[in-house]
Structures are given as C-alpha cells and as structure tokens.
Structure 1
Amino acid sequence: MSCPRRRVLVGAGTIATAATIGLAGCLGGDDTATEESAEPIALDDGATCDACGMVIADHAGPARQLLYADEDEGPATFDSLRELVAVHEEREVRGDELRAAFATDYSSVDYRLEEREGTQRISTHAGASAFADATEPVYVVDSAVEGAMGEEFLPFSDRGEASAFADEHGGEVSAWEELGAIE
C-alpha cells in the first residue's frame, strides 16, 4: 500500500468524522456540548483503559472509545475492542443510548505486525485522526493477530482490506452488530 493512498484514506476518515459530528449536532439538546462529545479524542498521551487500567498507547491493538447520550464528560476508553463490546452490551441492557463509538481504523493507518513472545500483534494507533465511527467498519475476528488482551476484533473501513487481512492471517469478516454474539 502506498503512502499517498493512506493520506487519501485518512482524509476520507476525517470527512466521515466531520459528517458524524454534524449529524450528532442534529440530534437535539445543546449543539455545542453534542459536537464536543461526539468527536474522538487522542488516547496517546497516557490515557488508560476504563476496564483494566492499562495505558492504551503502550499496548498492541486498536484503541477505542464509547460515549453515551447522558454523559457530559469525555468518552470511556479501552485498550481492547472485546472489552468495549462487553461494556457496551451491559450499557445497552440498562437502556443507555450510545451517542458515539470510535475505534482505530486499520484501513487509514500504516499499521505494523510485530512478533512478541511467539505471538503476532498489531500496532496501536491512538491519535484522534486514526479513529473512525466504530459502527461503520467491518471487523476481522478470530485471526492469528492479537491486540492488548489477546484475541481481538480488528476494524477496517475497507472490506477488501479486511478480507485480504483475514485471508493472510486467518479469521472472518464481521459487522459491528455481530460482535456481541462472537464474545
């Protein structure tokens, strides 16, 4: 994959994020608070996982964020999409309304695969520009490539890239709505 293509994809991701923020502003309530709360934040400056306390940028795998309609403070942050999905399912059962979910989009970053302790792991990208609306990408599940907490859901906005990744590293391609059933 060439560098210019990645720049185009990052630009497209930024446009998609802006559209998401604009749409969130139309949902009602205080427009200023809504816009601020629906934008991904960088998780690369010591941010910790709300589920386990690990420093997100220090560990492999996609970074992620959840924000609910009734929250005024910043999003809940995670170092594992499996943790995010588990927390989201609990919040859904309680009736909490999801305002925004963001995850690293591996189609928009130049990720690396690294061998650590006999396991292949994918690089972390925790800058705000690396995030996409987590409900939009497809996810590679059950691959041989792991994240911070072991087996991971790996998000790709480009279905072809996700399929190629799954072909090379094992796994299946699934939609956001299917992730809870995989747990």
Structure 2
Amino acid sequence: MTESTLQTAVTRRRLLCGCAGLLAVGLGACSRGGSAGTALAPVEADAKTSCALDGMLLADYPGPKGQLRYKDSEQTVWFCDATELLSTLIAPEQVRPVAAAWVQDMAQADWERPVGHWIAAQTATFVLGSRKHGSMGPTSAGFANVADAQAFATKNGGKVLAFAAIKAEDVDLSGGVRHDGRM
C-alpha cells in the first residue's frame, strides 16, 4: 500500500466514524423526545404556580392537577383540575401538537394537597363524576392502574374510563355552576 492510498483509507475511516457518531447523537436526541437531547419529564408546581385557563393557584385547591408541554414550547402549562387538562387534550378544536401531558396518580397522591406522583395522561385510567371534588367541583381522577381506579369508584362513585374512551362531552367545561350544587 502506498502512502497516498494509506492516507486516503485513514481519511475515509475518519469520515465514516464521524458520520456514525453524528448519527448516534442525532438518534439519541430523537429517542428522548426533547430538544437539545433533554427528555421530557413532569415538573413540580410551586406555591405561585397558576392554572393556564383561569389563573387559580394550584396550591390553594384540593384534587388532581394536570400539566402539559406543547411541541413548540419548553414551558409547562398547568391546570388546577385534571378535567381541564383532559378537555384541552380531547377537545376537537385542539390543533396545537402536544409533546407530553401528565396527571397525578390519585392512588398515591394526597387528595387535599396533591404533590408528585405524575403519570402520563394518555396511559392513565380515569374516574369521572365521583363525589370527590377538585378545584372546579366535580373532577376527573387519574390512576396508574385500573384496579386502583375501580376501588376509588366503588368508594366514591363515578365512571371508570381509559383515556382513549373519554369523549369531549365527558369533560365539557361549559356550565360548571350547573354541574356543581355547592356553587
């Protein structure tokens, strides 16, 4: 092998290794689902976190909360009630692509002061229409597994539904006062 042929082989090998490295980095970032190689994960609300729909402070109210991130933003959008989040996700006019959405697993979180225990909304099982109220009255409680949702519904009433089975009319936000006798 001549020196020129050897240099060409080394240069070609470096080029191929460099391309393979760039491909691996690019695929790694894609598989994590975030920009700049960061994985999407739920975050915790603080005392000043407010609901995107009505400005209510999440910390001031009981019941399950929700959060989401849109694909075109790194900002977390908060909901003081899980029904508000579900309505946003399921509404037929929802056209802004969602990167991730979370609700709290109410088998783990304290109803009066829910903190943590975030699960993907699309994989949760929900109880709609129970006697337990959240910040906006009747709410949707999310659970990581069906057995916990069924146990909650047996104790507190309500209908058990997988996320995919929830229809827009199940989480309609119009006429809240009509549906809540406490107001």
Q: Provide the residue aligned with 2:45 in structure 1.
A: 43
- Following superposition, which runs of at least 4 residues in structure 1 exceed 4 angstroms of deviation? none
Q: Provide the residue aligned with 1:101 in structure 2.
A: 101
Moved more, 79-88 or 60-69: 79-88
CA distance in 2 between partners of 1:68 and 1:78 (Å): 14
Q: By how many angstroms is 1:63 displaced?
A: 1.5
Residue number among 112, 122, 132 corresponding to 1:123 in the alignment: 112
- CA shift in 2, pair 1:98/1:24, >3 Å: farther
Q: Provide the residue aligned with 2:148 in structure 1.
A: 161
Q: By how many angstroms is 1:134 displaced?
A: 1.1
CA distance in 2 between partners of 1:66 and 1:153 (Å): 16
Mind listing any 5+ residue stretches in structure 2 that lack a counterpart? 1-27, 172-183
* TM-score normalised per structure 2: 0.69
Residue number among 150, 160, 170 corresponding to 1:182 in the alignment: 170
Q: By how many angstroms is 1:164 displaced?
A: 1.0
Q: By how many angstroms is 1:25 displaced?
A: 4.4
Cα shift readout 1:64-115 (whole Å, capped 9, x = no counterpart): 10111111x321101012211222345x635322110011111233x2xxxx
Q: Provide the residue aligned with 2:35 in structure 1.
A: 30
Is the contact made by 1:66 and 1:102 (CA closer than 8 Å) also made in structure 2?
A: yes
Q: How is 1:134-145 mapped onto 2 (pairs within 5 angstroms)?
A: 134-145=121-132
CA distance in 2 between partners of 1:46 and 1:81 (Å): 18
RMSD: 2.3
Cα shift readout 1:32-57 (whole Å, capped 9, x = no counterpart): 3x52xx21111133201111111101
CA distance in 1 between partners of 2:29 and 2:100 (Å): 8
- Count residues in correspondence: 143
Secondary structure of the residue aligned to 2:122 is coil
Query: Taking every aligned residue pair, what percent have the same amino acid on both sides?
Result: 28
CA distance in 2 between partners of 1:94 and 1:61 (Å): 24
CA distance in 1 between partners of 2:146 and 2:89 (Å): 24
Secondary structure of the residue aligned to 2:160 is strand
Secondary structure of the residue aligned to 1:93 is coil
* TM-score normalised per structure 1: 0.69
- CA shift in 2, pair 1:140/1:24, >3 Å: farther
Amino acid corresponding to residue 55 of structure 2 in structure 1: G
Greater Rg over alpha carbons, structure: 2
